[in-house]
Structure 1
Amino acid sequence: MRYVIPVSFMAILLAGCDDNQPPQALTPEMASYSNEFDFDPVRGPVKTLTETLLNEDGKVERRFHATLSQEGCFNTMDMHDVSRNTDSSLVLDANYYIDAITQNKLIRLQGKCQLESIPEAGVTYQTNDNDFVTGVTSKDLLITYSYAANGFPLGRVTKRGDQTLEIRNIPEKDTRKLLDYHTETWVNGKKVSQTVQTCDYDSHNNPTTCEIESNSVTAKPETPTRYTVKYEIEYY
C-alpha cells in the first residue's frame, strides 16, 4: 500500500527545516549604507523600505524611504529629519547618486553599487575584500566602521582633530533578532549615553516595530527618552 503524506504536513516539516537554517546575512551595500545614511539594515530581497522614527508623543522625528533593485542596489533614497530640518532625495544614475531636484552629481560609486567618494566634499570611502565600507576619510575627518560575521554594523569611531566619538553596537546572542541590541556612545574615552532596542519581527527576520529607550549617563538623575520605530518592507 502506498502512503500519501498530506500537503499540510509537508508544509509543517519544511517550515521546521527553515527554522533550523541560519538567518540570511546582510549584504555589503545594505550594511554600509545603513552606516552612512543612518537607517536600520534589513535582510533579504527587499524591494522598498520605509523606516519611521516616532517620539514619545507619536510625532515623526525622522523618516527614511528607499527603493532597491533585485540585485540589492539602492535605486532611490529619501531622507527627512525633523530635528535637523533637513530633506534630501538621491537617485541612482549610472555610477553616481544625483540630487533628485537639482540633478547634481553628489556621490560617485564603485563596482555595482558601492560607495566610492563625494568629490565636491573631498570624501573618500574605503572598502574591505568583502566590499563593506570600512572607512571614510576627508581633510580633517576619519571614520572607521566594523561589522559582525553576518554583516551587522558593530559601530564606528569618528575622529576629528583631538575629538573622538565612538558608537558601540552590542547585539543579542539570538542572530535572528538582528535589531535587538544595545548601543553605547563614548566621547574621548568617556561613556555619555546608552540605548536599548527591542523589536518584533516578520517571517524574513526583519523588524516590523522596535521600541527604543535612551539614557544619558552624564545626566543626574538619568531620564530615559523613548522612541518607536515602524518599518514597512516590500519584498521581491
Structure 2
Amino acid sequence: MKKLAVMIALASVLAGCDNASAPLSFTPEMASFSNEFDFDPLRGPVKDFTQTLFNEKGEVSKRVTGTLSAEGCFDKLELHDLDANTGVALVLDANFYLDAETQQQKIKLQGKCQLAELPSAGVTWDTDDKGFIVSAHGKEMEVNYRYDADGYPLGKTTKAGGQQLSVAATPSKDKRKKLDYSAVSLLNEKQLGTVQQRCEYDGYDNPVSCDLSIKDESVKPAVERKFTIKNSIDYY
C-alpha cells in the first residue's frame, strides 16, 4: 500500500509538471488578426516577426511583418501580396491604425488594440467576452470566425451576395504543433480546395519554417501548388 501511495504521489507531481509546461495559448489579438489578415498566428512574448511565403521557384509571393508591444498589441503590421501587387502598412496611433504612407485613419480600434471598425468599407467587428473577434458585419456581408480552446483560429465563414465561402482548419492533435494543419475551403457547400501544412518549431512552439501544399479543385484537373514559409521571430 505504501508503494502504491508513493507511485500515486509521483504521478501527481509529474502531472503537475506537464501542466506547468503546457504550451501558451494564442492571445485574442494575435488570433483575431491572423484570422482576419490571413497569416499564421504566433504565441509567446513576440516582439517582431516576418513571415515570408516562397513559391516553388523560390520567389517571394507574400510577406507579413509585425511589431508588437510587450502587452501583445500590434504597433505595426505590414501586408504585401507580391503576386497581386498589393500592400499596406498599418501603424498604431491611439485608437486607430493609420496608413503609414498617407497617415489616413484606416481601422478604428476597441479597447487597447482590438479591431472595431473599417470605416471606408462600413465594416464593424464584434468580440466575445474573451476579446476574440467572432463576427464582422457590413452592408451586404457577414463573417463568422472560429477558434479552438487554445485560441487557435479554425477559420471563418463569409456570406455575401447570396454566396457563402467557408474555410475550416483542423490543427494537429499535438498542442505544440498547431500550425501542422489541414484545411478545406467550400463555396456554397461545394469543395474548392484543400490545404496541408507541416512545420519545424522553436522553443516557444512557433513555426520557424513550413511546407505548404494548396490544391485548387475549382479547375479540372485539379492543380496543386507547393510553397515554403520562413519565419523570423524576435522575442521580449
Normalising by structure 1, report the TM-score: 0.90
**Equivalent residues in 2 for 1:78-227 (5 A)?**
78-227=78-227
* Ranges in structure 1 where 5+ consecutive residues have no aligned partner: 1-16
The DSSP-based 3-state class of the residue aligned with 2:166 is: strand
Root-mean-square deviation over aligned CA pairs = 1.5
Structure 1 residue 79: Cα displacement:
1.2
Question: Cα 1:130–1:161, aligned 2, differ >3 Å: closer, same or farther?
Answer: same
State the match for 2:76 in structure 1: 76
Structure 1 residue 218: Cα displacement:
4.2
The DSSP-based 3-state class of the residue aligned with 1:176 is: helix
The DSSP-based 3-state class of the residue aligned with 2:223 is: coil
* Ranges in structure 2 where 5+ consecutive residues have no aligned partner: 1-16
- Percent sequence identity is 48
Amino acid in structure 1 at the alignment position of 2:161? G
Deviates more, 1:117-126 or 1:217-226: 217-226
- Contact 2:217–2:223 (CA<8 Å) still a contact in 1? no
State the match for 2:4 in structure 1: none
Structure 1 residue 19: Cα displacement:
8.8
**Equivalent residues in 2 for 1:26-105 (5 A)?**
26-105=26-105
Report Cα offsets for 1:142-181 as digits up to 9, x if no partner.
Answer: 0000100000111100000210000000111101001000
Report Cα offsets for 1:210-234 as digits up to 9, x if no partner.
Answer: 0011112344443321000000000
Structure 1 residue 121: Cα displacement:
1.8
Distance in 1 (alpha carbons) for counterparts of 2:57 and 2:213: 14
How many correspondences in the alignment?
A: 221
State the match for 2:9 in structure 1: none
Normalising by structure 2, report the TM-score: 0.90
Distance in 2 (alpha carbons) for counterparts of 1:182 and 1:121: 31
Distance in 1 (alpha carbons) for counterparts of 2:18 and 2:148: 23
